[in-house]
Amino acid sequence: MNFLAENNLEFCCFDNSLSIEKFKLRFPEEAAATDLGLWHVFETENPDTFLEMYQFQVMSLPRLAA
């Protein structure tokens, strides 16, 4: 998560539809899907979720004027 903050990025989502559906059953709140802490809980509970490579999307946040 430090990498994201240091590079002015925001986590958007993982690219794995089956995992996303299972995650939504466990954490149905709308904002949960972008909460990396909840993804950590989900992965701890489901250790086979990301057996291969992580694929995810981030977006650049607007820079604040100095």
pLDDT tens digits, 36-56: 899 999 999 999 887 766 677
Give mean pLDDT, residues 10-20: 79
Rounded Cα–Cα distance for residues 16 and 25 (Å): 15
**What is the pLDDT of the chain when averaged over all its residues?**
84
Q: Is the pTM for the entire model greater than 0.85?
A: no
pLDDT at 66 > cutoff 70: no
13 assigned to some structural domain: yes
66 assigned to some structural domain: no
31 assigned to some structural domain: yes
Instruction: Give the residue numbers spanning the domain of 8.
Output: 2-60
Nearest alpha-carbon partner for 36 in 58, 6, 60, 8:
58
Cβ atoms of 10 and 61 within 8 Å: the answer is yes
18 assigned to some structural domain: yes
Q: How many domains does the chain have?
A: 1
65 assigned to some structural domain: no
